Structure 1
Amino acid sequence: MNILFVCTGNTCRSPMAEVILKHKQLNDVQVRSAGIYAMPNAEMSVHAQQVLNEANMAHQHLATQLSTTEVEWADLILTMTTAHKDTIIANFPNTENKVFTLKEYTSEGSLGNVVDPYGGHKAIYEETFAELTALIEQLVKILEKN
């Protein structure tokens, strides 16, 4: 199973989600992340790096622009917002059956978005990390059932 997390710039939410899921070390699950409007090779935000370091989660990340390569690689694309999901489906119409918001996929159809901490204080990143960790716990349960 190839899972792609997508956010806006691929410097906060999607790389944190990628690291959290990789840290679970699930068999036969590959994880990547990308951004709809990413600056290729941009570093993960400093606060995101700090939060991951404090959780003892190793990471090495440079931003990736969402492209056909990532979309075709992925079996499942999990976005941080409904706007990300809609943008992907509009640009890659054949993905409609494999693109979901993370909350929609893990919380039985929830229409909620994962809050964007970009530019905020470290506390906002800590809240986003906690939210992502809880959602990924749910994701792991779903993956283990399938």
Structure 2
Amino acid sequence: MTKILFVCTGNTCRSPMAEALLKHKNMGNIQVRSAGIYANNGSTASANANEVLGEKDIVLDHNSSQLEKEHIDWSTYILTMTSNHKHLIVNAFPEALYKTYTLKEFVEGEGGDISDPFGGSVQTYRQTMLELERLIEKLYKKLI
């Protein structure tokens, strides 16, 4: 069983969208969670994240989680939205070094950050979701 953990800053935009997009693939051999480096436990996903996923008929039932050691121990792969997230994780949890990648690094072999739509318009969220959708498709193909 492969266990994917998506990580962003507040766990209300990018990582929950990535989690929902991968879960929507209904892959039985993969478990998916998300967390945030600076998340407040129990916050709902942003309204705009819910809206743009709803346009794809994906329901986002989400409560944010602060990244903790149990997430690190649980995961097979930790996929971050930015290289800064990756560095923060590896500094805090050195044991995660060999399983932590940026999402782009893991699926495309090169770095690059996924922009944070927090506080942006629905169109900004839609652009982030489309980028995530493209990357999740590549991730799906890599994992199957």
Q: Aligning the two structures, in what range does the TM-score lie when normalised by the shorter sequence?
A: over 0.9
Q: TM-score, normalised by structure 1?
A: 0.97
Conserved in 1, the CA contact under 8 Å of 2:41 and 2:66? yes
Deviations 1:23-68 (A, max 9, x none): 0011210000000000110110010010111110122100000001
Q: TM-score, normalised by structure 2?
A: 0.98
Aligned-partner Cα distance in 2 for 1:64–1:17 = 15
What is the one-letter code of the residue matched to 1:142?
Answer: K
What is the one-letter code of the residue matched to 1:124?
Answer: T
Where 2:116 maps in the other structure, the secondary structure is coil
Q: Give the alignment of 1:1-146 within 5 angstroms.
A: 1-108=2-109, 110-144=110-144
Where 2:98 maps in the other structure, the secondary structure is coil
What is the one-letter code of the residue matched to 2:129?
Answer: F
Aligned-partner Cα distance in 2 for 1:128–1:64 = 21
Aligned-partner Cα distance in 1 for 2:133–2:55 = 14
Which 4+ residue blocks in structure 1 deviate beyond 6 angstroms? none
| Gapped regions of structure 1 (runs ≥ 5) | none
- Aligned Cα root-mean-square deviation (Å): 0.6
Q: Aligned residues, how many?
A: 143
What is the one-letter code of the residue matched to 1:37?
Answer: Y
| Gapped regions of structure 2 (runs ≥ 5) | none
Aligned-partner Cα distance in 2 for 1:78–1:103 = 9
Aligned-partner Cα distance in 2 for 1:59–1:48 = 8
Aligned-partner Cα distance in 2 for 1:100–1:29 = 17
**Percent same amino acid at aligned positions?**
48
